[in-house]
Amino acid sequence: MRNASAIAGVAAVGASFHNLVARCQAGEYRSARHGYGPLHPVRDESTGLPLLELPEGFRYLSFGWAGDPMSDGRPTPTMHDGMSVIA
């Protein structure tokens, strides 16, 4: 029973992957690169530094740097979790 489930799972994943490859070869797969237009340097609204490249009309602001003191007095960690907010 276990072996049959594994075989069915592999077959399902394989079929999905095959369909993706076929769509790419047929030119039906659209890359995310075309979604919002070309990227260009954008200045951070907090520092004025061009830290990121974003599509036209996007903006951002940084709110902390590694090593800066946090509200509890401890330094901001160097290994951020990649958190972001999009509104």
Residue 11 phi, psi (nearest 5): -65, -40
At residue 87, the pLDDT reads 62
**pLDDT at residue number 53:** 96
At 31 the three-state DSSP class reads: coil
85 and 64 within one domain: yes
The answer to whether residues 69 and 54 belong to one domain is yes
Q: Do 52 and 80 lie in a common domain?
A: yes
48 in the same domain as 80: yes
Averaged pLDDT of the chain: 78
Q: For residue 79, what pLDDT is reported?
A: 82
52 with 12, same domain? no
Radius of gyration of the CA atoms of the chain, in A: 22
43 and 17 co-located in one domain: no
Q: Within the chain, where are the H helices?
A: 2-25
Q: Kindly give the parts of the chain with pLDDT less than 70.
A: 1-21, 23-24, 28-34, 83, 85, 87
Domain of 8, in residue numbers: 1-30
Number of domains in the chain: 2
Q: What is the per-residue pLDDT for 19? A: 65
